[in-house]
Every structure is written in structure tokens, then in C-alpha cells.
Amino acid sequence: MNREATILLVEDNPKDEALTLRALKKANISNNVVVARDGVEAIDYLIGSGPDGSRKPLPQLILLDLKLPKLDGHEVLKRIRDDERTRLLPVVILTTSVEEIDRFEGYRLGANSYVRKPVDFTEFARAVVQLGLYWLVLNEQPPVIRA
């Protein structure tokens, strides 16, 4: 996998965070993983700037939970899609929600994929392998075109 590319994991549940990190490691996905534990932290990482005006490099992939404190996943996704710099980033909603309205709203707001977290670790690890292979290896990012 691309070692330079970063994955932004937006997850407030420590158990789900540990499970995701463990599944990524088990899948030999060695990318740097940055964890944001609430929606505000995710937006600050993606869109905020430091005191000197500098911004953090964008991740290659965002794994986004929906049920987050401070700012829910749908609002995070909306803000990602509203910002010119982050608009085209791949966002995979990774959630336990089985609500059709959550899935509908996720796609309406521009999610690239919606994956329900399996309860079983083996199934979850398998899903993470597939996500990693597709989004970090097979998928080609949009080109950067400067006007």
C-alpha cells in the first residue's frame, strides 16, 4: 500500500477505533492513520489552518462514522463537499447504522461508499482489506489541474 498516503479515521468509539486500526494492520495497510474523535476535530484537520496559515496535507481516504459528538458525520460530509480543497476526497461512511435515511443522506451529501460495520471482527477485517485495496491501491485519484 502507499506508505505516504494518510487515512483519516473519524471515530468516537474507542473500541471501534481499536478494531479499525487492528483490521488495517492485519490487512497490511501501513498507511499513516490520523484519528479524529469528533466531527469538529475532523473538520479542523481537513479545513482548518495553523497560526501561520499552513494546512495539513490532505488524506487519501476518509473513513467517517455518522454518530459523532459535536458535529455528526452527515454535517462533516457536507462541509467536506462544500470546501473546494476537500470536495473530491474519497469518503467512506463506516457505521453501525442500519437506518435507510442515514444511507440516503450519506449518498445525497456525496459519500463515495457506505459500509456497515460488521459486528464480527473477521468480517470487519475482511471489509477493511477490501476497502484498503480499492481506495488505496486500485482507485485513481482525480488529477490536480491548475488553471
Residue 74's domain comprises: 6-136
List residues bridging with 63 in a β-sheet: 9, 92
Judge whether 141 lies within some domain. no
* Tally of residues, the chain: 147
Q: Are 80 and 86 in contact (CB under 8 A)?
A: yes
Judge whether 61 lies within some domain. yes
Judge whether 1 lies within some domain. no
42's grid cell? 475532523
Element (H, E) at 113: strand 113-116
pLDDT of residue 112: 94
Please state, as a whole number, how many other Cβ atoms lie within 10 Å of the Cβ of residue 54.
Answer: 7
71's grid cell? 458535529
Sign of the CA dihedral running 35, 39, 41, 42: positive
CATH number, residue 17? 3.40.50.2300
What pLDDT digit, counting tens, does each position of 50-92 carry? Answer: 677 778 889 999 999 999 999 999 999 999 999 999 999 999 9
- CA atoms of 102 and 85, how far apart (whole Å): 25
Confidence of residue 130 (pLDDT cuts 50, 70, 90): confident
Confidence of residue 122 (pLDDT cuts 50, 70, 90): confident
Q: How many domains does the chain have?
A: 1
